[in-house]
Chain A
Amino acid sequence: MLLEVKGASVAYNKVVAMRQVSMQVPEGGIVTIIGANGAGKTSTLRAISGLVRLFAGEIHFGGRRIDGLPPEKIVAAGIAHVPEGRRVFPQMTVEENLRTGAFLRRDRQEIETDLEKVFARFPRLKERRRQLASTMSGGEQQMLAIGRALMAKPRLLLLDEPSMGLAPVIVEEIARIIKEIAAGGVPVILVEQNAELALSLADYAYVLETGNLALEGRASELHENEHVRRAYLGI
């Protein structure tokens, strides 16, 4: 397993947001975490990337224990996190945002190659490379946030609600890109409230309910699960 979360628990000011969550992410493919508002999806990703500390449990990445490390060490280990709400740097240009994603890399030539790859994947970013990120549309900012994460050359990509607030056509485009990224060899953890989308993209799925792991299984099986259908797919 590339990533193993073992009994991880997170609390904010003594209020528990995530209780004894365990997950496994293999070396390839897409794993999704679905759940309602406040279920603890974002907290799970933040725990993995070191933005919040665990009060119990462990996280291992590539055989190495990473919980307790500061975020920059976890990025260096190969985890890139596209946060909820995109969080691009508003007063930096598109190109500056992308290059900031490569902050820890020293392989100058490969950075240029990767920048061209990101531009090839997101032609709209190339057209707007000198534009300030704050002046971009929501969909473009999401693409920029994903592009920025790819510039880190990650071994694992965390995506927190990439479809949030976007028009259906853009969501389709983002979905296609997520599939391409995974097919290109970078495993993805996809957090979504849009369960239909998430289950259609993912290989394996976890369902969080008020901080607890409620269900897990192959995405195609969960898609047919009675409880999931009623609670998350509105069927």
Chain B
Amino acid sequence: MLELLAQTALNATYAASYIALVAVGLVLIFGVMGVINFAHGELFMLGAYAVVALYADLQLNFMMAVMVGLAFVGCVGLLMERALFRPLRDNPLGGLVASIGFLLILQALVVMGFGVRMEHIPPVTQEVIAFSDRVRFPLSRLYVVVAAVVLLTALWLFLKRTRFGWALRASAQDPEAAALQGISINQTARIAMFIGAGLAGVAGALTAPLVSVNPLMGHSVIVTAFIVIIVGGIGSLEGAVVAAVAYAFVHTIVTTFYDGVIADIVGLSLMLLVLIVKPHGLFGTAERA
């Protein structure tokens, strides 16, 4: 029993790590720009395909492929900011619709480039850390956990300690008041979009050898998107980050003990509960202007 628990905890930690990366990017984009990025799952998918192209096909070093995946998807985020979200800034619904259109374009491009088949990606390492006979953790999963911890810690320090981190938090709390402090909305939007997309991309890249990579793999992210955005609420970026990480853990623990459908139901119920008790989200305070 104890061993089952230990094994489940390890699996949940792994799953929560990459879901947290995806969810945190989403709340960052929502917090700063006020748009729900429906294409976020496809950014995750693009990160996985960066690994297909660079690591599986071109046989580059895996870490290198992951780094390029992060940067490349981050740049796709910049493109989205400039081409979709900026022209539609005063129209959050427009941003949402545009991101749905963009999602379909990304899927089509990937199908054109790679086909609809499931990609086979050679394992990065076969090594397994064996705590006991029945408690085993593949090293490749540990990489994902370590990367997530490092990246999320870096993001936290960025938000709390740096000038641009403060600018991001200020724009999320009150975009107009932030503009009156000399903070450029275009600039914070770019930073949020690069980081948010980059985190989704890196999550996709890191997990590519461990999941089935196909052009539709981003779909499941959409439910997550709604839940974390509502639970995280509006106002506090740090709060939203914490909520996203917490949600990732709850969801994966329920998934491992029961299944994914129940986990979504639990997630949605939590969302409703939060909406009833705290209509602006767990850490939200003010209404967006």
Chain A contacts to B: CB under 8 angstroms: 49-51, 70-72, 75-76, 80-81, 83, 87-92, 96, 99-101, 103-104, 134, 148, 152
The answer to whether A103 and B183 touch across the interface, beta carbons within 8 angstroms, is yes
Q: B184's closest neighbor in chain A, by CB?
A: A72
| Chain B 145-179 interface mask (CB, 8 Å, partner A; 1/0) | 00000000000000000010011011001101111
Knowing A49-B180, A92-B173, the reply to whether A100 touches B286 (Cβ < 8 A) is: no
The answer to whether B179 and A91 touch across the interface, beta carbons within 8 angstroms, is no
Knowing A92-B169, A99-B166, A134-B285, the reply to whether A87 touches B184 (Cβ < 8 A) is: no
Most buried by B among A75, A88, A103: A103
- Chain B interface size, as a band, is 20 to 34
Knowing A91-B169, A91-B285, A99-B166, the reply to whether A152 touches B181 (Cβ < 8 A) is: yes
Our pick among B163, B170, B182, B286 for the contact of A92 (Cβ within 8 Å) is B170
Q: Chain B contacts of A81 at CB under 8 A?
A: 180
Our pick among B166, B176, B182 for the contact of A96 (Cβ within 8 Å) is B166
Cα separation A103 to B162 with both chains bound (whole Å): 11
The answer to whether B285 and A87 touch across the interface, beta carbons within 8 angstroms, is no
Q: Chain B contacts of A75 at CB under 8 A?
A: 180-182
Q: How far is the CB of A21 from chain B (nearest CB, A)?
A: 21
Cα separation A96 to B162 with both chains bound (whole Å): 11
- Check: B283 CB closer than 8 A to any chain A CB: yes
5 tightest A-B CB contacts, nearest first? A75-B182, A104-B182, A87-B177, A91-B236, A71-B179
Q: Chain A contacts of B179 at CB under 8 A?
A: 50-51, 70-72
Most buried by B among A80, A92, A100, A152: A100
- Check: B235 CB closer than 8 A to any chain A CB: yes
Q: A88's closest neighbor in chain B, by CB?
A: B177
- Check: B239 CB closer than 8 A to any chain A CB: yes
The answer to whether A90 and B181 touch across the interface, beta carbons within 8 angstroms, is no
Cα separation A44 to B160 with both chains bound (whole Å): 35
The answer to whether A51 and B176 touch across the interface, beta carbons within 8 angstroms, is yes
Knowing A90-B235, A91-B239, A91-B283, the reply to whether A71 touches B180 (Cβ < 8 A) is: yes
Q: B286's closest neighbor in chain A, by CB?
A: A90
Q: Chain A contacts of B170 at CB under 8 A?
A: 89, 92, 100
The answer to whether A70 and B181 touch across the interface, beta carbons within 8 angstroms, is no
The answer to whether B181 and A101 touch across the interface, beta carbons within 8 angstroms, is yes
The answer to whether A103 and B180 touch across the interface, beta carbons within 8 angstroms, is no
Knowing A89-B169, A89-B170, the reply to whether A103 touches B177 (Cβ < 8 A) is: no
The answer to whether B184 and A70 touch across the interface, beta carbons within 8 angstroms, is yes
The answer to whether A103 and B163 touch across the interface, beta carbons within 8 angstroms, is yes
Q: Apart from A51-B179, A71-B182, A88-B177, what 16 extra A-B contacts exist at CB < 8 Å?
A: A70-B184, A72-B182, A75-B181, A76-B182, A87-B180, A90-B173, A90-B235, A91-B236, A91-B238, A91-B285, A92-B169, A100-B167, A100-B170, A100-B181, A101-B181, A103-B183
Q: Chain A contacts of B174 at CB under 8 A?
A: 87, 89-90
22 A–B contacts, CB within 8 A, in A order: A50-B179, A70-B184, A71-B179, A71-B182, A72-B179, A72-B182, A72-B183, A75-B180, A75-B182, A87-B180, A89-B169, A89-B170, A89-B178, A90-B286, A91-B235, A92-B169, A100-B166, A100-B167, A100-B178, A103-B182, A104-B182, A152-B181
